[in-house]
Amino acid sequence: MKIKNYYVKDMYEAMIRIREELGNEAVIISKRQVTQKGIFGFLKPKMIEVTAAVEVKEVNEAEKMMSSKKTEQEALFRNEINEIKEVVKQLIETNHSSVNRIVEHNEDIYDIFRDMDLSKKIIEDFESYCKHNNIKKNDFNKIVLYEFLMNRFNNKLNIKMPDSKVLVLIGPTGVGKTTTIAKIASRESLVNHKNVGLITIDTYRIGAVEQLKIYANILDIPVEVVSSVDDLPIAINILRECDLILVDTSGSSYKNVNQLNELKYFLDQIKEKEVSLVISMTSKNTDFIQILKSYQHAEFDNIILTKFDETLSYGNVLNAFYLTDKPISYISMGQVVPDDLEYATRDVLFKYIWGEIKS
C-alpha cells in the first residue's frame, strides 16, 4: 500500500496529481485545510492537505521475500503490514463517507446541471451512478460529480479524426462549416503538405461560393463549384489527384425536411466519404438534441463542435457524446483561420467541462 500526502490549492489539482502519480486505482482517505509554511504563511491562502492511497504489487513481492527468511523480526514486520492493510481497507470502505465529510454541502448539483444545460439522459445517468455507488442525494457534491465525469469520459467519450479522402461538412446555417473547411484545408496543405481540393455545393446563399474561393485563392488550391447533383461525381473526378477533398454544403435548418432530404440526395452521390456534422456550442440543449436527431437521416460519421469561445456553458460536450455514438473530431474556438481549430482530445474536453463546474 502506498500512501502519499499532497498539498494543493483545490480538489481538482489534487485529483489530477493523484491520478498522475498513483493512477486510477488511488483513493482519497483524508483531507484537511492547512496554513501555508513560512513566517507569513498565515497571510497566504490556505492549502488543502489530501492523503491518498493505492495498493501496489511491490508490497506482495516484499512479503514473499521476507517470509522466506523466517526471522522473528520479519514476522513482526509482516504483522505490521497486515495491520496497516486492515486500517487502509477500512478507510477505503468508508471512502465515500470521508469524501462527504470534507465537502461543504451548500453546492446544489442540480443547479450546476441546469446552468450547463444538460440533457435529461445525463442527469438520469448521474443518479443511477450514485445509486450504484451507494451515494445518497444529500451527499451529491462536486467531488462525486468529478468522479462521475472522469468515469464517463474514460468509458463513454468517443474521439476520432476523419481519415477519408473525401470529407463533407454538413450542419445548420451559420455554425462555421465554411470557416472550418478553410481551417482544415490550411492545416492539411500548409502543415501536413497534402494536396487539398475544395468543392462547394452551396449555391443557395449569396456570397457562399466567393467565400470559399477566397480561401482557395489564398491557399492556392483548386475549388469546384457544383450546382446540380449530376455535377458532383464530375467535380470529385476532376480533383481525383488530391489527397484530401473537402466538400462544403449549404446550411439546412433541422426543421426543414425538404432541405435535409435534398442534402441526403447530394451526399448519396459520393460513394466513399466521411461526413462531419458541425454544431455550435451555443445551441440550446433542446435544439442540440433535435439537430442530432434530424441529421441522423444524413448519416453523419463524426461531430465537429464550434464556437467554444462564444459560450461559458460547455454541457453540449456531454450532450454530444451521450446522445449519439458518433465520435467528436475537431473543436473550433474562434474565427481565426487556421489557428482556432483543435483536434478534440479527452483532456481538452474534460478541462472545459470541469473548468465550468469548478468556477
239 binds ligand GTP (CB under 6 A): no
Question: With respect to ligand GTP, which residue has the nearer C-beta, 130 or 304?
Answer: 304
* Residue 179 interaction partner, one of Mg ion, ligand GTP, none, beta carbon < 5-8 Å per kind: ligand GTP
Q: In what order do the strands lie in the sheet with 196-200?
A: 223-225, 196-200, 244-248, 166-170, 274-280, 302-306, 328-332, 341-343
* Residue 334 interaction partner, one of Mg ion, ligand GTP, none, beta carbon < 5-8 Å per kind: ligand GTP
Report strand pairing: 47-54 vs 27-34: antiparallel
Binding site for Mg ion (CB under 5 A): 177-178
One residue of 202, 267, 288, 354 binding ligand GTP per CB under 6 A: 202
338 binds ligand GTP (CB under 6 A): no
Q: How many CA atoms lie within 13 A of 277 on its CB side?
A: 31
- Please state, in angstroms and rounded to a whole number, the distance separating the CA atoms of residues 200 and 228: 11
342 binds ligand GTP (CB under 6 A): no
145 close to 111: Cβ distance less than 8 angstroms: no
Least Å from the CB of residue 121 to ligand GTP: 26
306 binds ligand GTP (CB under 6 A): yes
Least Å from the CB of residue 295 to Mg ion: 16
Rg (C-alpha) for the chain, rounded Å, is 27
Nearest residue to 29 via CA among 57, 60, 6, 13: 6
175 binds ligand GTP (CB under 6 A): yes
Question: With respect to ligand GTP, which residue has the nearer C-beta, 29 or 181?
Answer: 181
Q: For residue 3, what are the β-bridge partners?
A: 53
Least Å from the CB of residue 172 to ligand GTP: 7
Nearest residue to 185 via CA among 195, 176, 175: 195
Length of the chain: 359
One residue of 167, 246, 292, 333 binding ligand GTP per CB under 6 A: 333
200 binds ligand GTP (CB under 6 A): no
**Minimal CB distance to ligand GTP: which residue?**
251
Q: Please count the residues of this chain forming the interface with ligand GTP, following the rule CB under 6 A.
A: 21
Q: Residue 237 has which C-alpha cell?
A: 473526378
31 binds ligand GTP (CB under 6 A): no
Least Å from the CB of residue 146 to Mg ion: 38
Other residues' Cβ atoms within 10 Å of the Cβ of residue 64:
9
Specify burial of residue 110 (Cβ count, 10 A radius: 0-12, 13-18, 19+): exposed
One residue of 31, 96, 307, 326 binding ligand GTP per CB under 6 A: 307
211 close to 229: Cβ distance less than 8 angstroms: no
Question: With respect to ligand GTP, which residue has the nearer C-beta, 250 or 324?
Answer: 250
Residues that bind ligand GTP (CB under 6 A): 173-179, 202, 205, 208, 250-251, 306-307, 309-310, 332-335, 340
